[in-house]
Chains A and B, each alone.
Chain A
Amino acid sequence: MSGYQARFKVWRGDVDGGGLEDYRVEVDEGEVVLDVIHRIQATQAPDLAVRWNCKAGKCGSCSAEVNGRPRLMCMTRMSVFDRAETVTVTPLRAFPVVRDLVTDVGFNYRKAREVPAFVPPAGLGPGEYRMMQEDVDRPQEFRKCIECFLCQDTCHVVRDHEENKTAFAGPRFLMRVAELDMHPLDAAADTGLDRERAAQEVHGLGYCNITKCCTEVCPEGIKITDNALIPLKERAVDRKYDPLVWLGSKIRRRGAGG
């Protein structure tokens, strides 16, 4: 197998607008889309803006839409395309464009700040934590997240409805809530924080109607919908409507509050 000339269309532009530009570019054996973007940069368009870091699917920087599908460019092999096919690369649609393939992903960093941090259990010092592997398996799956924000980009709750961004944290950060909720030693409840209720009331869990688009695009293969969002919904619903749970929480809070 040897090199060939591929046809690429790459979105060029900035906040004031732009459009697809055509490139003919050499492709060598085993290459990924990011290699081709880099070759365009090195030989034809030195100012072509693109984010990337590790080029090994570990950092989640080179997110873009390839033929309309949210992907990591470093993990999208050229061999999946027909040689005659034109490959179209565009920036993530759910976020404002900065320049070319680079978007302003600040939304995600704002949402990250809205999720209250891990609360260490009182009375356990460093080195005294004991947790069983089977109890950390579930939150560990969510901690595989590389924050590529492809799930945030593809989720139709914000992709097509800019106005939902205020109320909705998106799959990545709802999964973060689920992760903390499933952490065997998180002591949020002792401080009066109910993560399940917050998922519903603060982070917009109710907007999610489990279409699993997020799971489909996750490059880490995390089962976001099945393992994080659905269990979180179940727990949140229990919490909200189960009168016994409601009563129990009232009594306990009153007791603790003294």
Chain B
Amino acid sequence: MSVVDRQEWDVVVVGAGGAGLRAAIEARERGCRTAVVCKSLFGKAHTVMAEGGIAAAMANANEHDSWQVHFRDTLRGGKFLNQWRMAELHAQEAPDRVWELETWGALFDRTKDGRISQRNFGGHEYPRLAHVGDRTGLELIRTLQQKVVALQQEDFRETGDHEARLKVFQECTVTRVLKDGDRVSGVFGYERESGRFFVLEAPAVVIATGGIGKSFKVTSNSWEYTGDGHALALLAGAPLLNMEFVQFHPTGMVWPPSVKGILVTESVRGDGGVLRNSEGDRFMFRYVPDVFKEKYAETEEEADRWYDDPDHHRRPPELLPRDEVARAINAEVKAGRGSPHGGVFLDVSTRMPAEVIRRRLPSMYHQFKELADVDITAEAMEVGPTCHYVMGGIAVDSDSAAARGVPGLYAAGEVAGGMHGSNRLGGNSLSDLLVFGRRAGRHAAEYAAALAGARPRADDAQVDAAAAEALRPFSAEAEADAAHEDAGAGGRPPENPYTLHQELQQTMNDLVGIIRREGEMRQALVKLAELRVRARRAGVEGHRQFNPGWHLALDLRNMLLVSECVARAALERTESRGGHTREDHPAMDRAWRRINLLCTLTDPTGGLAATGGTGGLAATDPTGGLTAADPVSGRIRLTRETTEPVRPDLLALFDKEELVKYLAEEELYE
């Protein structure tokens, strides 16, 4: 067995986007030696792609804004399925987290009186998004990156070593969370560059790996979004929450094919852009659902007056929450009123002067000009829904961000579930990263400090099993031959991981996409089971040094696990709500509001043994542990759980007439 390099840290953060870096900064500032592990180069995480802004009720643009209004908008957006305590903390703490960024050097766009400017966005009652043009995510990641460097400079002055207390392990992938009994004891991973394995021993691990979009064909997500953190938590014995809720952003590019899915920021609509179909009809007026009827304009005249006088007019329906807009676009295209390349038209060119467009939406201007030969100051964009965000995620404690059932494991950002309910509002993601990144870092640090004298140990058998699992793709061919010798049991050549990935993306896109049907989801589960069996034979050529085929073969385990969670939960939830739309159950059902769906592994020992025993993997199986006995029964068990009632003072923020649309009778009178 190979000798694996081991290091001791207090807190390990997996992921270096907004949540991961904020967690790391917090843990380091609280005195913990903190390691950050990320798949890409430092500063390239998916957070850079966030465009519109950070939602925070600073009330710079409208004095009526407050955390209570923000909380209310967040719950409405999530159709009341949100873990309400998270939504409360988020709304309360977001302004402090934004202001803190300024003290670290961030430069947001300004109001006339020199404060942070705030812009309108879908579902937010007031202009609330702190922004920098349409590159807010870049500003956020760069500010956090530079704060990390500032702390490293401090440490260098004190110790002569930049990395004494805060180190970024860039271009490294974590494949297993290690455990000592019930508790976390560290992580196992490999360096992408060299292929070398390593173990970081730590009593506390924060998972901040982002989302799962790379399981879908049309997505705005980058290659890193392979559901790693979701899978790591599952394999470590932690449950995932409400994985059926996947946000399809209404406006992704649809042409040319190679850029299909790339995001077109919601700011385009927030700043005045309108949606039209091929007949020139501003169709969103026909798609305002009952629960939102009082809050949205009924005519174009009223909608257009809102931009200048929001206190006396209702907002345009283009600014409905994302799930509503995405479904409307889908319906228009299906009805034959789509644009030439299967989207609808998003137009700013007739709405504002060219120089305003170039100033307010510079990267959109650039993106369309460079990638599609479209000048958005002169013509309309073609847009359509694209897989953008997963609301579901690791089930966490609202206050501490601790994952359920696995002491020492924390999760923050997109990988954590609950905060956004069934649908996330634009702008609430960046604030989520900061609020819960900080909380996760803080609680991980406190937990680690309390264990300083009795650190859990990383078990050798687990390390060996994880190494064997990671090496398996290199011996796929030999195993395939051996299976052939055994007669019958397969014996086909190794599978190309790229082909498997494409088939997975097509399956999820077609069968568990924006509009879902029972039959198709059943079909998806069968297909996923087949892919899982084939993924066991995913083989790679070459060696371990920077080998993308190998990396993908390992990421497939995670994508398959997470895809099964999405499909299984989506099949179970027989209603439509937020980012989960069932053609066969088109209505929102108040009885489902209180139900959380939790995903766990059917065979927990298929992961690293949660309880004693051998402490090893059941098999060196890259697909997650189980051998393929009964594919359709799969590896994921679903359980239902009734959520805690919303605290009365928070419920009191809403009118009774509004609550009756969401809450069941008995909840209203409790």
Which chain B residue shows the least CB distance to A220? B366
Contact B262 A55 (CB under 8 A): yes
Docked pose: A22 CA to B515 CA in angstroms: 44
Partner of A98 from the list B162, B223, B224, B546 (CB cut-off 8 Å) is: B546
Contact B44 A130 (CB under 8 A): no
Contact B41 A140 (CB under 8 A): no
B222, CB-defined interface residue at 8 Å: yes
B490, CB-defined interface residue at 8 Å: no
The interface size bin for chain B is 35 or more
Q: Tell me the smallest distance from the CB of A102 to a CB of chain B, in Å.
A: 5
Which chain B residue shows the least CB distance to A34? B258
Partner of A127 from the list B46, B99, B371 (CB cut-off 8 Å) is: B99
Q: Tell me the smallest distance from the CB of A139 to a CB of chain B, in Å.
A: 6
B496, CB-defined interface residue at 8 Å: yes
Residues 477-505 of chain B, each 1 if its beta carbon lies under 8 Å from chain A, else 0:
00000000000000000001111001000
Q: Tell me the smallest distance from the CB of A21 to a CB of chain B, in Å.
A: 14
A50, CB-defined interface residue at 8 Å: yes
Dominant secondary structure at the A interface:
loop
Residues 118-147 of chain A, each 1 if its beta carbon lies under 8 Å from chain B, else 0:
101000001101111100100110011111
B292, CB-defined interface residue at 8 Å: no
Docked pose: A57 CA to B366 CA in angstroms: 9
Knowing A31-B256, A61-B44 are in contact, say whether A54-B49 is a contact too (CB < 8 A): yes
A167, CB-defined interface residue at 8 Å: no
Contacts of A49 in B (CB 8 A): 545-548
Contact B48 A47 (CB under 8 A): no
Contacts of A61 in B (CB 8 A): 40-41, 44
Contact A118 B105 (CB under 8 A): yes
Contacts of A56 in B (CB 8 A): 49, 259, 262-263, 367, 371
A230, CB-defined interface residue at 8 Å: no
B25, CB-defined interface residue at 8 Å: no
Contact A118 B150 (CB under 8 A): yes
Knowing A47-B540, A77-B371, A126-B103 are in contact, say whether A117-B150 is a contact too (CB < 8 A): yes
23 examples of A-B residue contacts, CB within 8 angstroms: A29-B257, A30-B256, A30-B259, A32-B258, A42-B498, A47-B549, A50-B548, A56-B367, A56-B371, A57-B371, A58-B135, A58-B137, A75-B370, A75-B371, A77-B371, A117-B153, A118-B104, A129-B99, A133-B117, A143-B132, A144-B138, A146-B48, A183-B107
Docked pose: A101 CA to B107 CA in angstroms: 34
Contact A130 B113 (CB under 8 A): yes
Contacts of B497 in A (CB 8 A): 46
Contact B41 A105 (CB under 8 A): yes
Contacts of A31 in B (CB 8 A): 256-258
A166, CB-defined interface residue at 8 Å: no
Residues 58-81 of chain A, each 1 if its beta carbon lies under 8 Å from chain B, else 0:
111100000000000001010000
B572, CB-defined interface residue at 8 Å: no
B370-388: which residues lie under 8 A (CB-CB) from chain A? 370-372
Contacts of B42 in A (CB 8 A): 109
